[in-house]
Amino acid sequence: MEKPVEMAAGTAGMAEAAESSKNFIEQEIEKDLAEGVYDHVQTRFPPEPNGYLHIGHAKSILLNYGLAKKYGGKFNFRFDDTNPTKEKTEFVESIIEDVKWLGADFEDRLFFASDYFETMYECAVLLIKKGKAFVCDLSADEIKAYRGDFTTPGKESPYRNRSVEENLKLFEEMKEGKYADGEKVLRAKIDMASPNINMRDPVIYRVAHMTHHNTGDKWCIYPMYDFAHPIEDAVEHITHSICTLEFEDHRPLYDWVVRECEFENPPRQIEFAKLYLTNVVTGKRYIKKLVEDGIVDGWDDPRLVSIAALRRRGYTPESIQKFVDLVGVAKANSSVDYALLEYCIREDLKLKKPRMMAVLDPVKLVIDNYPEGQTEMLTVPNNTENEELGSRQVPFSRVLYIEREDFMEEPPKKYFRLFPGNEVRLFGAYFVTCTGCEKDADGNVTVVHATYDPETKSGSGFIGRKVKGTIHWVSVPTAEKVECRLYENIVDEEKGKLNEDGTLNLNPNSLTVLKNCYVEPALKDAKAYDSFQFMRSGYFCVDSKDSTENAPVFNRIVSLKSSFRLEK
């Protein structure tokens, strides 16, 4: 490509970058708008209420919502509830909560595909009248056998040439409940020799004497997904029906249905690759087993990546949006590193959350020259990188909790924390010099001793000398004892996700419960979903299930550092 002339170089380059940063779906939409195929953009998220949503669905939700917003269009939220066997109201409610939480604003456009059963039925009748659908008496096994495969063409059903009148009568009888499940089906009459197996006279309606969560016992025939879905899109004037790659081979059938059912300005389907994450379990089958075996604490266990679990763990909608943006949309399936999700939540919380002091593995530090019984309030900044978060008062006294790992009797090289004779800074307070420790009969350190230098008070402008280490602390008389939970990935892909017998190879360290943690008194009133940075230990969120009043349980969302770096 030729280089743009000097003066315009900057802007031309930028425009080019913007153009190439458009994903392939955006490019298709813009082409459609430019060519007048559509004069508006309308997208949708169409979950089947048969389980909880996970991070992959979040991608689909934010992608569809984002496209509608970007092109001044609308985003519909529709339950694809055409299959009465697997669907439950519990899932409908959790899915609505998740979509709202993610911030995908569907305004007043929450729909149920089952509300269109009448229209679907009319479409089927229209197809019969046009000679494009027929009632077939073959059994499910026979239909399968007649279908052929990639190398053999299918064989036509002996019922394929029934008259329109006969088909109308039989279909009516199917609807009236004259036939048992599986006795008769309605099939599209397309092409049994088509190289695309989906086009070989697919079943479009079946008999199922079942109660539907929305329509009750009104219907005993139900439309098949491939027939129902394009009609749902068309009824709602969806323009771009965005779905995942496994539906690519179904697109010719999608187009056939909207064309033959004579919808004006029919929608078009565009496929993208599903999102997969490393080191997590997304398959509904596996999650169900983990729940049933009591290995995880429900669908919202913080080690899972259902949206409910991510919310409980402390992920924010903003962090998930950032993640989805960074991952982008692709046409080929691949797995994204879990560490990218962690990077996104760290980036989101870094400047937003106060940095509190919490000691997870406590040992006492006694400052022998500090007045006994005295408590002074120290002012500490809430976030040293963001002044806007202001400051708070933290009580300081003679006896403190510090992390056990912040003291060593015999330190290795480059250990800058407490050891006999060494001076460190207590964050927001004073310099202290370690004078020794006490031990129990087994040689475990029980108390660390130190002296402080009153001249070194934080904020006093002291510049006399420097120390290499800063440690955090919590004053014992006012400390709150809390439970903290630390997590690791539930499976480790490097060690193999599955065992030889097909069961999950679970990480035995995926959950560590610490019951003797001490935090500043300010954290006592933390509410469910509140999150904080605990200095040096990571970001923590108040558990929404197991916290009680004045006794918060903290879930570690993510540690402060990882080896992961976003390539710039």
Q: Minimum distance between the CB of residue 536 and ligand ATP, rounded to whole angstroms?
A: 35
- Residue 91 or 539: the one with the smaller Cβ distance to ligand ATP is 91
Name the residue nearer to ligand ATP (CB basis): 59 or 417.
59
The pair of three-digit structure tokens given for residue 294, joined into one six-digit string: 């009591």
Tell the smallest beta-carbon distance from residue 165 to ligand ATP (Å).
37
Is 274 a binding residue for ligand ATP by CB under 6 A? The answer is: yes
Q: C-beta of 277: minimal distance to ligand ATP in Å?
A: 9
Binding mask 8-47 for ligand ATP (x = CB under 6 A): --------------------------------------xx
DSSP string covering 229-293: HHHHHHHTT-SEEEEEGGGGGGHHHHHHHHHHTT-SS--EEEEEPPEEETTS---HHHHHHHHHT
CA distance 224 to 162: 21
The footprint of ligand ATP on residues 283-302 (CB under 6 A) is 284
Distance of closest approach, residue 110 Cβ to ligand ATP, in angstroms: 15
Nearest CA to 478 among 534, 397, 415, 407?
A: 397
Of 168 and 340, CB closest to ligand ATP: 340
Helix axes 317-327, 89-102, angle to 10 degrees: 80
Q: In the complex with ligand ATP, which residue's Cβ is closer, 46 or 552?
A: 46
Which amino acid, one-letter code, is at 378? L
Neighbours of 227 (CB within 10 A): 25
* Closer residue to ligand ATP (CB): 118 or 248: 248
Site string for ligand ATP, 231-260 (x = CB under 6 A): ------------xx----------------
One of 41, 235, 275, 448 touching ligand ATP (CB under 6 A): 275
Site for ligand ATP in 177-196 (CB under 6 A): none
CB 243, min distance to ligand ATP, A: 5
- Residues 41-60 contacting ligand ATP, CB under 6 A: 46-48, 50, 56-57, 59-60
In terms of CB distance, is 333 or 509 closer to ligand ATP? 333
CA atoms 132, 243, 51, 231: torsion sign: negative
Strand-pairing partners, residue 212, are 216
Between 56 and 469, CB nearer to ligand ATP: 56
Q: How far, CA to CA in Å, does 302 sit from each of 57, 120, 547, 549, 554?
A: 17, 41, 14, 21, 11
Task: Mark residue 371 as left, alpha or beta (left: phi above 0; alpha: psi -120 to 50; beta: remaining).
Answer: beta
Is residue 102 a contact point for ligand ATP (CB under 6 A)?
A: no
> Which of 78, 417 has the CB closer to ligand ATP?
78
Distance in Å, CB of 244 to ligand ATP, minimum: 4
Task: Please work out the total of residues on this chain that contact ligand ATP, with binding judged by CB under 6 A.
Answer: 13
Cα 461 to Cα 370: distance, rounded to the nearest angstrom: 21
Q: Is 206 helix (H, G, I), strand (E, B) or coil?
A: strand
Return the number of other C-beta atoms located less than 10 Å from residue 144's C-beta. 10
Q: Which residues bind ligand ATP (CB under 6 A)?
A: 46-48, 50, 56-57, 59-60, 243-244, 274-275, 284
